[in-house]
Chain A
């Protein structure tokens, strides 16, 4: 099959396919911006002089201090996690109609390999459009934002450009990665002329083994400080690696644990359900509990970081209070020098977490709408037989909220526990930071409100998807 034919077939499709392509391109655009931003931070040259020499051309200490740039770049790369989760959730948009299209290609004589290439090309081209647009936004934004202040300092590193090969790697590498991910995902299904058949799905009820991952993650965080003290700061790179692996394990544990929570919530709801809405939600939760893992992955990852950030903020807050107390005792008064750098940094982290929650909510909306659209015939039949749309809307709300509330609490708890263990105590027997219940409550409530808003928006699609015309479509 020629490239032109492949491209033509890859770009064929209905409005849902167009929406998937647009969302994939948007995800690629956001990921490109985050990647190029991280590369730009790393491209800032270390000023000549001793290790304490700072890049004075920048306003923000995160850019000024060479020692902090690695962490800043890492945080920017971390921002791509919810973006990539959004891309993954977008890939499910319009999956039934795409599956039918691919099956039709097979029926017309396309080989399984050709069908895979069509799907890969669709994702690859959409991602390439996004990365190229992202590069254009980056270069344009660089020009627009390059405005030194009165002291000649810059808010962003708009005076440096990452190496061209590195930029090319982001712009071209992301589409290749996306296409490769599509090929891997298609390995789970067989595209036959009669339809797309899933080769093997996860069967059986979820088990609580993710709790083990969470436990190991928390344990890894707990051992960092004692080992650090024991080794007196010698050769600690491997310890940092252990902590990172542990944290990653805990994040995965919470995400996979959402499946178990959904199953448990479904069973409990089924036992207690008195109304049809709750019964419908309960059955859907027990039928596909892993949907919750897929749906809330990005949100839960963002909340673990939020919980950890709350622990760090509480620790920095205590440190600042103790400093002020010492200054007062030393007779310097309240106006003495006060280093608010770390607290300001936490403001940035909170901003990043809010952005991640917003992106995760967008992904949740995509998944929710896709779920409604793919079940439109059943919903339309229910409405035609007299089931109120409100009942279906309530069942969707139950289905989302029943697992998300406990999952959010666990994510915040795990994040806070890891953060608290990593910050340790300032000195043996010293005051310990209070649990920032207020901040954790705001984060949890904010996430649940975001989910509620998403459910509200998703339910708006019910009216169009339950129209009687859906019963006439084949």
Chain B
């Protein structure tokens, strides 16, 4: 079943075009890697799909509803409930502990502090960083921080996870660990994943690879079938 649809997306930054008519469907539980050279519009596409940016033209639909016409508050609510967002770095609040960072989306949704902490601890355990629960981001390694951020993105059990270069700031081993766990958990929960990366090795974890060039889809192909792949194709 198609969760997210983009039709003819166009987005420019001043005179510079970033997207020039992108059409794309994301199915339930599907892991899609968006790849391409720097400046081809990968992150802009992710931001439009996630409702962070409004496209200049075209449509983004979430389960049949036009997302791009919603108010910012409504799109923010959607990102808190049905979407999860993961960036390269700088996303954890430095003053909050790992558990508090993970619990934040639940607290925003009105969950009580105790219940939110319990859920946060469960997700930190799933991401193998339970020992960091009461540690602040500054005292964690890059890999631990990213796993903590992954736990925060998944704690609300979103329907779609948007990940923008999630391993870009990590070494190869730490990057592999984070991605392996992210993909495993996404498959377990039938979460769709839109994964922006410029590394073919990372794209290999996806079911489908969408290659952008100069703001348009250059070609689409199957992922290289990493060990954990196996969702709907």
Interface residues of B in 67-120 (CB under 8 A from A): 73, 76-81, 83-85, 87, 90-96, 100, 104-105, 107-108, 112-113
B-chain residues with CB within 8 Å of residue A391 when the two chains form the complex: 108
Do B87 and A384 touch across chains, with their CB atoms under 8 A apart?
Answer: yes
Do B80 and A283 touch across chains, with their CB atoms under 8 A apart?
Answer: no
Give Cα A275–Cα B111 distance, bound, in whole angstroms.
Answer: 9
- The answer to whether the Cβ of B50 comes within 8 Å of any Cβ in the partner chain is yes
Given A280-B95, A280-B96, A283-B96: A386 and B90 within 8 A (CB)? Answer: no
Given A386-B83, A386-B85: A287 and B95 within 8 A (CB)? Answer: yes
Given A276-B107, A276-B108, A283-B100: A386 and B95 within 8 A (CB)? Answer: no
Do A378 and B93 touch across chains, with their CB atoms under 8 A apart?
Answer: yes
B-chain residues with CB within 8 Å of residue A276 when the two chains form the complex: 104, 107-108
- The answer to whether the Cβ of B47 comes within 8 Å of any Cβ in the partner chain is yes
Do A386 and B96 touch across chains, with their CB atoms under 8 A apart?
Answer: no
B-chain residues with CB within 8 Å of residue A471 when the two chains form the complex: 43, 87, 90, 164
Do A378 and B96 touch across chains, with their CB atoms under 8 A apart?
Answer: no
A-chain residues with CB within 8 Å of residue B79 when the two chains form the complex: 384-386
- The answer to whether the Cβ of A199 comes within 8 Å of any Cβ in the partner chain is no
- The answer to whether the Cβ of B53 comes within 8 Å of any Cβ in the partner chain is yes
B-chain residues with CB within 8 Å of residue A283 when the two chains form the complex: 93, 95-96, 100
Do A378 and B85 touch across chains, with their CB atoms under 8 A apart?
Answer: no
- The answer to whether the Cβ of B52 comes within 8 Å of any Cβ in the partner chain is yes
Sort chain B's interface into a size bin.
Answer: 20 to 34
Do B43 and A472 touch across chains, with their CB atoms under 8 A apart?
Answer: yes
Sort chain A's interface into a size bin.
Answer: 20 to 34
- The answer to whether the Cβ of B153 comes within 8 Å of any Cβ in the partner chain is yes
Do B93 and A280 touch across chains, with their CB atoms under 8 A apart?
Answer: yes
Main secondary structure of the interface of A (DSSP, over half): helix
Q: Which residue of B lies closest to A276 (CB)?
A: B107
Give Cα A382–Cα B96 distance, bound, in whole angstroms.
Answer: 13
Do B52 and A468 touch across chains, with their CB atoms under 8 A apart?
Answer: yes
- The answer to whether the Cβ of A381 comes within 8 Å of any Cβ in the partner chain is yes
Do B91 and A385 touch across chains, with their CB atoms under 8 A apart?
Answer: yes
Q: Which of A280, A287, A385, A472 contacts B85 (CB 8 A)?
A: A385
Do A279 and B107 touch across chains, with their CB atoms under 8 A apart?
Answer: yes
Do A386 and B76 touch across chains, with their CB atoms under 8 A apart?
Answer: yes
B-chain residues with CB within 8 Å of residue A275 when the two chains form the complex: 107
Give Cα A155–Cα B87 distance, bound, in whole angstroms.
Answer: 64
Do B100 and A386 touch across chains, with their CB atoms under 8 A apart?
Answer: no
Tell me the B residues contacting A by CB distance below 8 Å: 43, 47, 50, 52-53, 73, 76-81, 83-85, 87, 90-96, 100, 104-105, 107-108, 112-113, 152-153, 164
Tell me the A residues contacting B by CB distance below 8 Å: 273-276, 279-280, 283-284, 286-287, 377-378, 381-388, 391, 468, 471-472
Extra 10 A-B pairs, beta carbons < 8 Å, given A385-B153, A386-B108, A387-B76: A273-B113, A280-B93, A283-B95, A287-B94, A381-B91, A384-B47, A384-B50, A386-B77, A386-B80, A387-B80
